[in-house]
Amino acid sequence: MSLLPILRFPDVRLKKIAAPVINIDDGIRKLVADMAETMYEAPGIGLAATQVDVHKQVVVIDISEEKNDLRVFINPRLENCTGAQTGEEGCLSVPGIYDKVERAERVTVHYLDLDGKTQRLDAEGLLAVCIQHELDHLNGKVFVDHLSQLKQTRIKSKLAKQARVTA
Ligand code: NI
């Protein structure tokens, strides 16, 4: 396994739309293993392939305290998004920035697992937020896209300053 570099907002590659996975082959299995390692190392609770500059519909999530409940979603599709919840979100592609985003409270997601089997998961609360956040990435969206233009401008200048300091 290897750690993958994570794209940082406002990198234009974060806007690419991910393509469906056709074959779950060794390349996809390696991608999933590398994405999981990268997410745990960061540390984060979710990572979309888009964030590591691979534009395929692959997401890994682990919201457990013990970091022993890896969930892999291939070609995920949301349906039955109901209710509303607002929580503070962050993103490995937007380091150090947190802000409130409104999301559905409950979602159903259909996807393929690593064996290529069709799966269905009903999620609520934090897991539902995380699924919506990661699926946004596959559609070229970052959580700051949900914020006002003013906030987006502030975030861009803050990140640009950080990049100069750490470069
Ligand atoms: Ni993110």
Position 167 pLDDT exceeds 70: no
Ligand 1 center from residue 141 Cα (angstroms) = 9
Ligand 1 center from residue 162 Cα (angstroms) = 18
User: How many angstroms separate the Cα of 146 from the Cα of each of 90, 125, 133, 162?
Assistant: 12, 18, 11, 22
Q: Give pLDDT, residue 93.
A: 98
Q: Give pLDDT, residue 137.
A: 98
User: How many angstroms separate the Cα of 76 from the Cα of each of 12, 73, 101, 102, 152?
Assistant: 23, 6, 21, 20, 27
Ligand 1 center from residue 118 Cα (angstroms) = 25
Q: Is 35 exposed, middle or buried (0-12, 13-18, 19+ CB in 10 A)?
A: buried
Q: Give pLDDT, residue 162.
A: 84
Ligand 1 center from residue 14 Cα (angstroms) = 10
Helix (H, G, I), strand (E, B) or coil at 53: coil
Q: Give pLDDT, residue 72.
A: 98
Ligand 1 center from residue 117 Cα (angstroms) = 26
Q: What is the mean pLDDT of residues 69-74?
A: 98
pTM assigned to the model: 0.96
Please give the structure tokens belonging to residue 142: 């970052």
CA angle 73, 76, 80 (to 5 degrees): 125
Q: Give pLDDT, residue 118.
A: 98
Position 142 pLDDT exceeds 80: yes
Q: Is 134 a catalytic residue?
A: yes
Contact 60, 47 (CB under 8 A): yes
Task: For residue range 13-66, list pLDDT tens digits in order.
Answer: 999 999 999 999 999 999 999 999 999 999 999 999 999 999 999 999 999 999
* CB neighbour list of residue 139: distance below 8 Å, 6 or more residues apart: 17, 18
Q: Give pLDDT, residue 32.
A: 98
Strand partners, 86: 102
Task: For residue range 97-134, list pLDDT tens digits in order.
Answer: 999 999 999 999 999 999 999 999 999 999 999 999 99
DSSP letter at 7 equals P
Ligand 1 center from residue 164 Cα (angstroms) = 22
